[in-house]
Structure 1
Amino acid sequence: MPHPVPLGWREWLSLPDLGIVAVRAKVDTGARSSALHVLDQESFRRDGAEYVRFVLDTGVHGQGPQPAEARVIDRRRVTDSGGHVTERPFILTRLCLAGQEWEAEVNLTHRRNMLFPMLLGRTALAGRFLVDPASSFLQGDRPEGQPPP
């Protein structure tokens, strides 16, 4: 197995299946699953399968909310950091970070006033990355034209 790549506690990543070129992510080893904070979501059926249509704010300066849709692979109960339990839809999508691309399960949730639209949880990190909690953006600066975090 190759050596794990170092990450800071926050990084930029992309979600190409959703058309998201850059999203600010908090690398959260305390969270089991990864979460994408959506502004709005609506479930619908297509060819007998459940899908979800949603809108997200990527945290990219000057870029408005981005619409996206994905197939729902599961619905699970998730406990947030405040101990609140909610049922959330999970999607499977590609993540790109530090020159690596892989599929990961991501749950969709709406939380107000989030500084990071994406939480990258330990299941998606396992075996790929080591996290340095004293560092930020070890895998590159913000996208062109973005203000400092």
Structure 2
Amino acid sequence: MPALDSMGGEEEPDLVPFRLNRLMAAWNTRLEALLAERGAGFAQWRVLMVAARAGRALTIVELAAHTLVPHSTLSRQIAAMERDGLLRRGRHAADGRAVSVELTARGRARYREWLPLALEEAEAGLAALDPAERALLLRLIDRLEGAVAPPQTSASIA
């Protein structure tokens, strides 16, 4: 994307985070449309994906950190997903004050149903890269995550 000329004839610097954000917004919008065709919401997908990949119960704070959804918004989403039988809330085993969230069998089945859509959309975008470029992209993402991501107190989920 060409830089907008707003510095009086000087070329604007290339703001990589902004470009990556635009790219992911476009990619997520495409996945959101595929999910909507099946009556699914993108927010539900994100919560189910993180919960399924965690392989254990997560606190709402952990879910918020991994889904990038604000705690208050996530709490409402979790309540709705619990009513739909996709998630189960309970007291956290290690900290009784915290709420833990885990997938139900129905939630895991829904995740497995929607996973091919996410993989299909990922492949549609990555098709522009050859295998060596894909491998390089993954290595670069790992390096960038290590450079800018806050330290995790638990194992990576993404």
TM-score (norm 1): 0.23
Higher strand share: 1
Larger Rg: 2
Q: TM-score, structure 2 length as denominator?
A: 0.23
Q: Which has the higher helix share?
A: 2
